[in-house]
Amino acid sequence: MTEAILLVGGKGTRLRPLTTHTPKPLLRVAGVPFLTHQLARAAEAGVTRLVLATSYLAELFEAEYGDGSTLGLELVYATEPVPLGTGGAIRNAASLLTCGPDDPVFVFNGDILSGVDLTALREAHTRAGAAVTLHLTRVLDPRAFGLVPTDGDGRVQAFKEKPQTKAEIVTDQINAGCYVFTRSVINSIPVGREVSVERETFPGLLDSGALVRGFVDGSYWLDLGTPQAYVRGSADLVRGLVSSPALPGPVGEAIVLPGATVHPQAVLTGGTVVCEGAVVEAGAIVDGSIVLPAARIAERARVSGSVVGANAAVGAGTTLQSTVIGDTATIGPDNELTAGLRIDCGVRLPAQAVRASAAPSVLAS
């Protein structure tokens, strides 16, 4: 048996308004909650029991997954009474683990889409006898990340904060948000207070001489913490650029879930997903976008790289470019919403309220 902890307590503030009513890990990605992809990959790698470390809207996780039996897992739930940081959340969840002190435990961040070989990661950890093994990925521009240099044997040398100058960029390797802990190491994390694994736990292990290893892997990796990344990750799953055993349809240009209605004269491209109860009308073009349950895209609308929230409506002739529409919002006809705009839940925009060009009636005159 292999156990795991999955950290799903964050509020997902960078994704607002999408996370107003839905925790970030339960947002639909390629048609199913993102957490479903993570759970399915964990089960595929031999994880049999998993603790969900919850906080924000904690009750929605158990409502979605119950005991986990439908995914072939045993799921249990640990809720943080107060925010405890990454390390504190791991320690709080560890009270529900059943494995022995020398057993490996996976720890996953709840917002990372990755193609890393989890079985190989666990085996490398066990073979080395490491205290902790971190999945590391290489990025072209590491300035936005903490750096994790390793030696020729994969031993972690340091944990460096985000570099401020070119001279501080000592490696392109960053922490990819997936770890294997030896259980006894988790037990050493202080109980009942906020702890950061990045700033306290991992540097403390290095100072003590413990073996902390990096597992460098070049497979697909994406942090889904922003709307742009969230849309991209969903589209990449639909198009098969990264695999998931939980994908609810064959890879291709689009996935249309049962119960959705797409007019034969509508066009879906670029890894679009249309969720159950949603409607896409004639002449609409939806490219690389997420249409959430019961949303409606009216005729001749153009939707690109965007998210249309549950029960939201996009009017005829309206254009969305890299835009987020919150749940139950209504966008009237002939609006033009440009990249980066976010419309809050429940907002109603009248026809032609927001445009980047002259209104059609003006052009006609």
DSSP string, 38-99: HHHHHHHTTEEEEEEEE-TTTHHHHHHHTTSGGGT-EEEEEE-SS--HHHHHHHHHHTT--S
Hey, what amino acid is at 260? A
Overall average pLDDT of the 91-112 stretch: 94
When pLDDT is cut at 50, 70 and 90, the band that residue 82 belongs to is: confident
pLDDT at residue 136 in the model: 95
Hey, what amino acid is at 301? A
CB 306 within 8 A of CB 321: yes
Overall average pLDDT of the 122-148 stretch: 92
When pLDDT is cut at 50, 70 and 90, the band that residue 1 belongs to is: low
Examine the pLDDT at 252 and tell me if it is beyond 90: yes
Q: Over pLDDT 90: what percentage of the chain?
A: 82
Q: Over pLDDT 70: what percentage of the chain?
A: 98
Residues sharing a CB contact under 8 Å with residue 219, sequence separation 6 or more, in sequence order: 114, 115, 116, 117, 242
Is 24 assigned a catalytic role? no
pLDDT at residue 218 in the model: 87
Q: What are the C-alpha distances in Å from 171 to residues 136, 141, 146, 152, 153?
A: 11, 10, 10, 13, 15
Examine the pLDDT at 203 and tell me if it is beyond 90: yes
Overall average pLDDT of the 6-31 stretch: 92
Examine the pLDDT at 206 and tell me if it is beyond 50: yes
Which residue in the list 11, 24, 162, 166 is annotated as catalytic? 162
Token pair for 12: 């997902």
Calpha distance 104→359 (Å, rounded): 61
Examine the pLDDT at 211 and tell me if it is beyond 80: yes
Q: What are the C-alpha distances in Å from 197 to residues 166, 183, 237, 319?
A: 26, 15, 30, 43
Examine the pLDDT at 163 and tell me if it is beyond 80: no
**DSSP secondary structure code for residue 198 in this structure:** I
When pLDDT is cut at 50, 70 and 90, the band that residue 144 belongs to is: confident
Dihedral of the alpha carbons of 236, 333, 267, 247, in degrees to the nearest 10: 30
Identify the weakest region by mean pLDDT among 126-135, 138-147, 189-198, 247-256.
138-147
CB 302 within 8 A of CB 283: no
Overall average pLDDT of the 117-128 stretch: 95
When pLDDT is cut at 50, 70 and 90, the band that residue 76 belongs to is: very high
Q: E-strand spans in 183-289?
A: 212-216, 221-223, 254-256, 261-262, 267-269, 272-274, 279-280, 285-287
Radius of gyration of the chain (CA): 22
Hey, what amino acid is at 54? T
pLDDT at residue 364 in the model: 46
Containing 337, the helix (H) or strand (E) segment is strand 336-337
pLDDT at residue 361 in the model: 63
pLDDT at residue 356 in the model: 84
- Rounded to two decimals, what is the model's pTM? 0.91
pLDDT at residue 143 in the model: 81
**DSSP secondary structure code for residue 196 in this structure:** -
Overall average pLDDT of the 105-119 stretch: 94
More confidently predicted of 329 and 163: 329
Overall average pLDDT of the 333-354 stretch: 95
Q: What are the C-alpha distances in Å from 330 to residues 181, 227, 262, 295?
A: 47, 19, 19, 10
Examine the pLDDT at 234 and tell me if it is beyond 90: yes
Overall average pLDDT of the 8-13 stretch: 87
Overall average pLDDT of the 25-50 stretch: 95
Examine the pLDDT at 178 and tell me if it is beyond 70: yes
pLDDT at residue 363 in the model: 47
pLDDT at residue 365 in the model: 40
Q: How much is the mean pLDDT over the chain?
A: 93
